[in-house]
Amino acid sequence: MDASLGKKLDYIIIGAGSAGCVVAARLSENPDVEVLLLEAGGSDAHSDVEDPVKWPRLLRSERAWQYETAPLRHCNNRVDRVPRGKMLGGCHSLNANIWARGHRSDFDGWEEQGCRGWGWSDVLRLYRKSEDWNGVASELRGVGGPLYVAPPTDPHPLATAFVESSDVVGVPRLEDHNGPEMEGAGFANLTIKNGQRHSVVNAYLRSAMNRPNLTVITHAETSRLLIEGTRCVGVEYEHEGTLKSVRAECEIILATGVIGSPCILMRSGIGPEDQLKRLGIDVVFDSPGVGQNLHDHPMIGGINYECKVPMGAPHHNGVEASMWWRSKAGLIGPDIQALLLEFPYATPALADRLPSSNCYTIAPLVARPASRGSMTLSSANFKDSPIIDVNFMASDSDVEVMLAAIEMCRNMGASDAFAPFRKREVMPGKLNRREMIEFIRMSTTTCFHPVGTCKMGVDRDAVVDPELRVRGIKGLRVADASIMPTITCGNTNAPAVMIGEKAAEMIVGN
């Protein structure tokens, strides 16, 4: 055991990401409990992390896990990247700082699937608890919470043009996507304060680290959980080249995200029995849903335009405007999202079509994808990357929604609102249906929102129950975006923070 800690622990949290930082901060508010937070990466102290517009540079740095997908069978067998945060703050130290709660029907849908306590009326309170909203006042918004959230103060003219262009497709303009209505076009909510990234580290963890009952160890990669009988009692992790182990009296909370959490479970003997046996892993509990239900928002990279005037530097995060809408009538919520990117964006397969850096992008995505993939271990060695089969565009319905989204976005891009900027549409251009579907298969990429691999629910494929307790194992919960049964129809960082708040309340009330 790791005797160097010199104290008996009550809780161990694995992963200092969007949810893990929240759980660590909330649990350590009680001075009578000892909390340990393990993070595989290092500090978030870096100029590229602090500057919100530099997030694309972080994606290929040592501050991100450099995962790749298996060949995308329905996207011309291309390989896509799956960068995940590897530092304090996790993906909230890596992402574009967009704060989107999701649509009320997302959470009511979870509750209808048996996840009691996760409906919209339940999670709204938690969102308000986490927020310090600095925008148009609303009873739906929280004020005085840890996390600074605000609209952009000086949006780029291209972002303004995007919002104005929504008129041509009959989409209303909104002041606040997290207000009474989500559907419409408007400026994003951003977790940017005084021009700098305001992540869960700034909002929750940094002050909590001054508490004597919270210990944070960085560069500590978890190899497996320690399980005795049917109870999780501790964690084995590598630190400074040495494998160490540590125990907790109360609970272990796994918060390493959509890739890390199922991998750690499977390496610990919790997962699909046949897969574990094939890798020589002793089966502790046959949980067939571990690693299944993988899905993400497929995004087009992208509808690109050459600008006829110098664009100048991106403002804020370079992604200041967004739109949510429905591809057809009768849906319970939006199934299309689109983002205005103040820079060119294309998949490697199409990047050579971009004429210069003086291009902007409208990037549509499918907000409620039907396609599902899976994630499996490649070996029992925690140093080996897993096999990540995202399976984009496996469902014909996702192709149809993307066709509708592209049409909307191209009409917006061709509108008078963009006339001062638009020199020409670089791609895709006017294509017939067959050609446009081929463009989709060449340009679909991640929106950096993978979820679902430790699904919450009440059926046999559920990995955790609605209390986030791992089925079949005592003393173990999962708290991160992997527990989402279905993806929210917006950027997934805000829901991950909410999941952290929810988990902490459940643990404290246990």
Give the whole-angstrom CA distance, residue 121 versus residue 114.
15
Structure tokens at 75: 């996207």
CA atoms within 13 A on the CB side of 351: 7
**Residue 3, pLDDT above cutoff 80:** no
Taking CB atoms within 8 Å and a gap of at least 24, the contacts of 169-176 are: 169/325, 169/408, 169/411, 169/412, 171/323, 171/325, 171/408, 175/135, 175/136, 175/151, 176/135, 176/136, 176/138, 176/141, 176/151
Structure tokens at 223: 């190899």
Q: Are 96 and 319 in contact (CB under 8 A)?
A: yes
Residue written as tokens 């046996």?
Answer: 277
Q: What proportion of the chain, given as a percentage, has pLDDT over 90?
A: 98
pLDDT average, residue stretch 493-506: 98
pLDDT average, residue stretch 223-239: 98
**Type of residue numbered 413:** G
Chain centroid offset of residue 20 CA? 13
Structure tokens at 471: 């089925």
Per-residue pLDDT band for 7 (boundaries 50, 70, 90) equals confident
In this prediction, residue 272 carries a pLDDT of 98
**Residue 4, pLDDT above cutoff 70:** no
Element (H, E) at 185: strand 184-187
Look at the chain and count its residues: 510
Query: Rounded to two decimals, what is the model's pTM?
Result: 0.97
Q: Are 53 and 192 in contact (CB under 8 A)?
A: no
Give the whole-angstrom CA distance, residue 109 versus residue 486.
8
Round the average pLDDT of the chain to a whole number and report it.
97
Give the whole-angstrom CA distance, residue 252 versus residue 12.
5
**Residue 509, pLDDT above cutoff 90:** no
Is 449 an active-site residue?
Answer: yes
Give the whole-angstrom CA distance, residue 314 versus residue 222.
38
- DSSP code string of 371-389: --BEEE-S-S-TTSPPEEE
Query: Which residue of the set 92, 156, 198, 449 is catalytic?
Result: 449
Count: domains in the chain: 1
pLDDT average, residue stretch 32-56: 97
Burial of 433 (0-12, 13-18, 19+ CB in 10 A): exposed
* Eight-state DSSP code of residue 470: B
Main-chain dihedrals φ then ψ at residue 372, nearest 5 degrees: -130, 140
Which of 3-12, 97-106, 261-270 shows the lowest per-residue confidence on average (mean pLDDT)? 3-12
In this prediction, residue 1 carries a pLDDT of 43
In this prediction, residue 2 carries a pLDDT of 52
Residue 194: which CATH number? Answer: 3.50.50.60
**Residue 5, pLDDT above cutoff 80:** no
pLDDT average, residue stretch 386-402: 98
Preceding peptide of 428 cis, ω within 30°:
yes
Structure tokens at 482: 């992997």
**Residue 196, pLDDT above cutoff 50:** yes
Q: Which of 399, 488, 509 shows the shortest CA–CA distance to 75?
A: 399
The pLDDT tens digits for 269-298 are: 999 999 999 999 999 999 999 999 999 999
The contacts of residue 36 (CB under 8 Å, 6+ apart) are 5, 9, 11, 12, 13, 214, 215, 216, 217, 246, 248
**Residue 464, pLDDT above cutoff 90:** yes
Q: Which residues pair with 243 in a beta bridge?
A: 238
Domain that holds residue 20: 3-508
The pLDDT tens digits for 323-342 are: 999 999 999 999 999 999 99
